[in-house]
Amino acid sequence: MAGHSQFKNIMVRKGKQDAKRGKVFTKIIREIISAAKSGMPDPAANPRLRSAIQWAREENMPRDKIDAAIKRGSGNSDADNFETIRYEGYGAGGVAVIVQALTDNRNRTAPDIRSTFTKCSGTMGEPGSVAFMFDYVGLIYYPAEAATDEAMLEAAIEAGADNCESDAHGHSITTSVENFLNAREALDKAFGAAMSAKLSWQPKMTSTPNEEQARQVLKLIDMLEDNDDVQDVFTNADISPELMEKLSA
């Protein structure tokens, strides 16, 4: 287990802004409804629902909204039938992109996603066209002040994590999909709630776009995340902090 290697955020996720909070809540509500429909409405007996509620708490969603979404999902209505779909493709410069969607109408979502790729100098591919470049894992992230590198590494090992990487900004713990919830709960007990904890597509290798390509990739991510049907976006783009700052200015 690598405990002291330099951690790099290679998913290139832009921070959520307050202006987007309404859309974030929409995505969370969909996930809670879908999770409640797919299993027990009791979070203790439904790991997916428990994870969705944790996401809601991380985004400071009011408790009444969480409860209402669980109630909708545990009912017998056919109005909230969401389907999980993965789309894959390439952004500018050949950057690999995976889009996780939760939709009640794939005939609406697929054309929207394809159009977004096209508008941002990208191409949507067939299922499996880029997934082989990624590993599907649990990814838990803590800020650097949560613990020392040694303490986090020791706790990660005890929790059964596969890897723990730390740098000046924070600690990134990788787990198997099967052990994700157990590891997260163990780390929660040791250090409190993580800054981020989710199942993630982690690239096996990165792609470094030039400035104009990076601009298009970030535009693609923004446009995809602005789509209510899109739950998450992952890429293998490796954009330096300096270039990110320049493009965000």
DSSP annotation of 238 reads -
pLDDT of residue 20: 64
Share of the chain above pLDDT 90, in %: 67
Structure tokens at 120: 């941002």
Point out which residues pair with 173 in neighbouring strands. Answer: 140, 164
Strand order in the sheet with 123-124: 123-124, 83-90, 96-103, 230-235
Task: Look at the block and give the residue holding tokens 């952004």.
Answer: 91
Whole-angstrom Cα Rg for the chain: 18
pLDDT band at 77 (very low <50, low <70, confident <90, very high): low
Share of the chain above pLDDT 70, in %: 90
At residue 18, does pLDDT exceed 90? no
Contact 149, 4 (CB under 8 A): yes
pLDDT of residue 14: 43
pLDDT of residue 17: 47
pLDDT of residue 144: 93
Task: Look at the block and give the residue holding tokens 């428990």.
Answer: 50
Structure tokens at 63: 């408790």
pLDDT of residue 44: 81
pLDDT tens digits, residue range 135-188?
999 999 999 999 999 999 999 999 999 999 998 889 999 999 999 989 999 999
Contact 183, 189 (CB under 8 A): no
Cα first-last separation, the chain: 38
pLDDT of residue 48: 85
pTM of structure: 0.84
- Work out the mean pLDDT of the chain and round it to a whole number: 87
For helices 47-58 and 21-38, angle between their N-to-C axes, nearest 10 degrees: 170
Alpha-helical regions (H) of the chain = 21-38, 47-58, 63-74, 106-119, 149-158, 180-191, 211-225, 241-248
110 CA to centre of own chain: 20
For helices 211-225 and 106-119, angle between their N-to-C axes, nearest 10 degrees: 160
Backbone dihedral angles phi then psi of residue 248, each to the nearest 5 degrees: -85, -10
Top-confidence residue, 92 or 14: 92
Top-confidence residue, 171 or 38: 171
At residue 19, does pLDDT exceed 70? no
